Amino acid sequence: MGIWPKLRERRIPQIVGGFAAGGWILLEAAAQLVERSVLPELAYQLVLVFFLAGLPASLLVAWFHGRKGPQIVLPCALSSPPPTPSPPRAFDIGRCALS
């Protein structure tokens, strides 16, 4: 299976495209407000930094949560009490212990 079908299965183009479109609209609005001296220049720079930082973040969230259907959840993610300490050992997926 190539990379493009994996990306489409996880809906990455739709999620990242939606984030990019929304970010572009916010950047344009901030530019207009800065140009008319309603907001300081710092406001545009902050919107730009948050947009640039949010783009890879949206890619990461889309990769892990974009797949349709039920998601895979490890049993330790559902337990409320913390696991009891155990002696160091190899990775055990049932207890979610990385040692």
Asked whether residue 87 is assigned to any structural domain, the reply reads no
Asked whether residue 49 is assigned to any structural domain, the reply reads yes
Asked whether residue 94 is assigned to any structural domain, the reply reads no
Asked whether residue 45 is assigned to any structural domain, the reply reads yes
How many angstroms separate the CA atoms of 61 and 39, rounded?
31
Given a cut of 80, whether residue 91 has pLDDT beyond it is: no
* Per-residue model confidence as pLDDT tens digits over 61-80: 888 888 777 766 666 666 55
Q: C-alpha distances in angstroms, 45 versus 26, 31, 41, 82, 89? A: 12, 10, 7, 42, 48
Residue-level pLDDT at 37:
93
Domain that holds residue 59: 3-71
Is 81 or 13 the better-scoring residue by pLDDT?
Answer: 13
**DSSP for 39-90, written as a single string:** S-HHHHHHHHHHHHHHHHHHHHHHHHH-SSSPPP--HHHH-SSPPPP----S
Mean pLDDT in residue range 23-46: 96
Asked whether residue 58 is assigned to any structural domain, the reply reads yes
Asked whether residue 24 is assigned to any structural domain, the reply reads yes
Number of domains in the chain: 1
Given a cut of 70, whether residue 85 has pLDDT beyond it is: no
Asked whether residue 96 is assigned to any structural domain, the reply reads no
